[in-house]
Structure 1
């Protein structure tokens, strides 16, 4: 696929398209620090083969999309503590801003409405798109995501410490750190071959390694806080997918999300962690496209 650059009314975003331009649109929103290719080619092509136009893109501050150089975010632990104490948080941007980026990209591409699909932080952004722009949202699919409710279980301390480690310098240091993170949070029932994992991680590093953006995105998540009240306003058809063995966003978060969105359908997957294992692509594709097709047919 050919990468393109959209100069929207807000910022520039790198994106790619799959499928027929006249087909119903599926917008894929990726998570914290992840580039658009974390939605693999075969995954996007499989959704397109079901009769959809698929658009994947780099969120702001990551990949080849616009960077917010010079905008400093406080350390995650400081933000987390201030958030828990109910103190005001000053960050470069919040998840609401990232949700508006989606609408800006849709405007650029002349897309009136779309099926909004998000994973992890992308699921949080997708939820906000559905809540704030219901007329632009045909359906919502929230994958391994959360409402941000403070009552939800937190990841184990070792996972949090790993995520907030100082950014690696150099390709090999990055690779070692990224593999350590992946092994902590990936699906225990669907292990990834080490060589394949290295290839995927190095491809992302060589395309764009920008840890400053990850820090600002993490700040946006923390500052956006508990979105439970917002989720309760969502009225678009919603599917929630979550792994039962997610070490980063525990399964209770998926259950909670589904409970807070009126009429949401919940799909829990045994053995799935905080990733999208290729062995589960057929199930993901069938769930997403089945949900979207049922909505389109209404």
Structure 2
């Protein structure tokens, strides 16, 4: 079922619900400039066997409003959009699963609205905390000395995005996914081509937004509130992650009180077919335990 939610003045968000209406709600929050249909269908279906799964398009993506040029906003506003989606759909509390920027937004919700969450799962993201990382040997590493984004990703992100038509844009996005997916699993070109065709069809155009990269990023740290967390939290560690490589997941789990870590072998900063079953299994085990 699809529905539009008015999240703020001039902002309407596209949402989709799947699964039994009386099942425990689970909100999926995608990454920067990514639409809700970026969550793979097999993963959504697997989660919907146990949950009322909700996914949505951020502002300036997909079928939601594209307001940034006239009404610039903060990244923090994107986190409040998640709460607006729950409010608009009449959901009091939900499990939340966030990936990449979506994992940061989930942390902000975790910190600012813990009463709205049943559990949190954080994928491919870094801690919104200034707490140093403690190595297994007891030594510490300042946050700004943790491993950075892989050079090949930075090089790709530095390239100007030029409009050479839909076909060329799909190929550009496939190359993007190839780099983000890491080097531990075979890359399925046709899978990601089909994904991007779905995204373009869903959105209605092939333009690439840049609003989330330009939005105000200040005020995102939640060090103290994450350290006081009481919401069951799972951190997914992706062994081939090129954006937030280990030990970012371990650091995140140290910053969020009570968090645990599960590793998905071969996973990078993408959701190819090979990781969907183990990822769904990990998420469902976590949400099931949180409900006990």
TM-score, shorter chain, exceeding 0.5: yes
From 87, 112, 115, give the equivalent of 2:95: 115
Distance 1:286 1:56, change over 3 A: same
Q: Distance in 1 between matches of 2:125 and 2:215?
A: 15
Task: Tell me if the contact between 1:147 and 1:231 (Cα under 8 Å) persists in the aligned partners.
Answer: no
1:167 aligned partner = 161
Q: Where in structure 2 are the equivalents of 1:1-298 lying within 5 Å? A: 2-9=1-8, 11-49=11-49, 51-71=50-70, 92-148=72-128, 149-169=143-163, 170-208=165-203, 209-212=206-209, 215-220=210-215, 222-224=217-219, 226-297=221-292
Q: Distance in 1 between matches of 2:41 and 2:190?
A: 18
Deviation at 1:13, TM superposition (A): 0.7
Distance 1:3 1:123, change over 3 A: same
Distance 1:166 1:233, change over 3 A: farther
Task: Tell me if the contact between 2:264 and 2:278 (Cα under 8 Å) persists in the aligned partners.
Answer: no
Task: Tell me if the contact between 2:264 and 2:275 (Cα under 8 Å) persists in the aligned partners.
Answer: no
Deviation at 1:106, TM superposition (A): 0.7
Q: String of CA shifts for 1:11-32, please: whole Å, max 9, x gaps.
A: 3110111111111100000011
Q: Distance in 2 between matches of 1:105 and 1:28?
A: 11
Count of residue pairs brought into register by the alignment: 274
Distance 1:153 1:258, change over 3 A: same
Distance 1:25 1:230, change over 3 A: same
Deviation at 1:226, TM superposition (A): 4.7
Q: Distance in 2 between matches of 1:235 and 1:142?
A: 15
Q: Distance in 1 between matches of 2:263 and 2:284?
A: 17
Residue 150 of structure 1 aligns to a residue whose secondary structure is helix
Task: Tell me if the contact between 2:75 and 2:217 (Cα under 8 Å) persists in the aligned partners.
Answer: no
Residue 155 of structure 2 aligns to a residue whose secondary structure is helix
Deviation at 1:195, TM superposition (A): 2.2
Deviation at 1:65, TM superposition (A): 0.8
Q: Give TM-score, length-normalised by structure 1.
A: 0.85
Task: Tell me if the contact between 2:264 and 2:279 (Cα under 8 Å) persists in the aligned partners.
Answer: no
Structure 2 residue ranges without an equivalent (≥5): 129-142
Residue 145 of structure 2 aligns to a residue whose secondary structure is coil
Structure 1 residue ranges without an equivalent (≥5): 73-91
2:137 aligned partner = none
Task: Tell me if the contact between 1:28 and 1:55 (Cα under 8 Å) persists in the aligned partners.
Answer: yes
Distance 1:253 1:219, change over 3 A: farther
Report the aligned-residue RMSD.
Answer: 2.0
